[in-house]
Amino acid sequence: MTQPKKTQATSPAEINERKDSARKRAMGEGGFDMPRHVAIIMDGNGRWAAARGLPRVEGHRRGVEALRKTVRAASDLGIAVLTIFSFSSENWSRPQSEIRDLLSLLRRFIRNDLADLHKSNVRVRIIGERSDLSSDIRGLLEEAEGLTHGNDGLTLVVAFNYGARQEIARAAGRLAVEVAQGRLSAEAITPELIARHLDAPDIPDPDVIIRTSGEQRLSNFLLWQAAYSELVFVPLNWPDFDRPALESAIAEFRRRERRFGGLIAQTGS
């Protein structure tokens, strides 16, 4: 009897071997590699649903499916860090029914997908304010981080209850406490020191930020970290985003010339 094909690596060694192979295949002319860190503003779920006469929650459900595809594609392509803007601190102003739907989808995603993420060697990190979240949501986020803490494949950073201005304000507050306690002088505060007090200071800044739906703004997402990121705006609504769309956005990134305020640096170098 013919054995079914194995479609997913079952050990960290197999996953890393597949990732290394994908990275080599993805190298372009001149040997330029994939971006190390890709961040995505997942926009357009509501517009996708409205265009089809469907309720907004259906757009959010299809958006979760697009997220699953994108995480798999990012891992296969050898991207080290994928950051997704899942829930903004401003989203609490939406209708309560939509907030309930979004939180329900978050609960379902973690309960249904966390085991698969862990099996695929994905490490989950959370950025954003947690103190005012309900205990069950906070517990789910902590469970996702705790279970996958030892994984060394793709790092999936989930920006939840997140706002970049709020993140910067939290960093400033931490530094203010150190100044007030006499452990730090105000003159010693530098951009590098502020960066070390952000929500995930060990994660590199994104090489490229992708926004779907055709909107062309950052919407309070990674404002500090985006200082030298390339921005790619994709006309697709998020539920239609898939691996070819990700590869196309990365191809656009790799055509850019990055200067970082000085000499030209070829992307991916």
- DSSP annotation of 227 reads G
Catalytic residue among 33, 91, 240, 242: 91
By C-alpha distance, which of 213, 207, 219 is closest to 241? 213
**Which pairing describes strands 37-41 and 81-88: parallel, antiparallel, or unpaired?**
parallel
SS3 229: coil
What is the helix, strand, coil percentage profile of the chain, to 5? 50, 15, 35
The residues with which 155 forms a beta bridge, in sequence order, are: 81, 123
CB 39 within 8 Å of CB 83: yes
Q: Cα(133)–Cα(151) distance, rounded to whole angstroms?
A: 26
The residues with which 123 forms a beta bridge, in sequence order, are: 155
**Which pairing describes strands 208-211 and 155-162: parallel, antiparallel, or unpaired?**
unpaired
By C-alpha distance, which of 134, 45, 141 is closest to 98? 45
Cβ partners under 8 Å of residue 168, min gap 6: 194, 198, 223, 224
Q: Cα(245)–Cα(119) distance, rounded to whole angstroms?
A: 25
Q: Cα(44)–Cα(39) distance, rounded to whole angstroms?
A: 16
Q: Is 207 a catalytic residue?
A: no
Catalytic residue among 43, 76, 113, 207: 43
CB 30 within 8 Å of CB 36: no
The residues with which 124 forms a beta bridge, in sequence order, are: 156
Q: Output the six-digit token pair for 177.
A: 């406490």
Q: Is 91 a catalytic residue?
A: yes
Catalytic residues: 43, 91
